[in-house]
Amino acid sequence: MRRDTDERRDRLESASDSHRIVRRLRDVPPHEVYEVRVDGRRAVYKRDTGPTGSAGVEGRVTAFVGRETSVPVPEVLSVGDDHYVAAWHPDAPEPDAARVADETWARAAGRTLATLHAETESHLGVFGSFRPRDGADPVTDDGAPRVDGTEDWREAALAEVRRRRPVLARYGHGDVADAVVALLRDRADAFAGAGPPVCCHGWATPEHVAVADGRVACVVDFEHAVAAPAGFDYWRTVLPTFGGDDASSTAFREGYESVRSLPSGFDRARRSTRC
Instruction: Check: CB of residue 52 under 8 Å from CB of residue 167.
Output: yes
Identify the three-state secondary structure at position 81.
coil
Please, are residues 131 and 160 in contact by the beta-carbon 8 Å criterion? no
Per-residue pLDDT of 27-42, as tens digits, reads: 999 999 999 999 999 9
pLDDT given for residue 272 in this prediction:
82
Write the single-letter amino acid at 139: V
Phi, psi of 200 (to 5 degrees): -95, 130
User: What's the predicted TM-score (pTM) here?
Assistant: 0.93
The pLDDT-based confidence of 1 (bands split at 50, 70, 90) is low
Average pLDDT for the chain: 93
**Are residues 187 and 272 in contact, defined by beta-carbon separation less than 8 angstroms?**
yes
Average the pLDDT over 234-254 and give the result.
93
> Per-residue pLDDT averaged across 121-139, rounded?
89
Domains of the chain: 2-87 (3.30.200.20), 103-274 (3.90.1200.10)
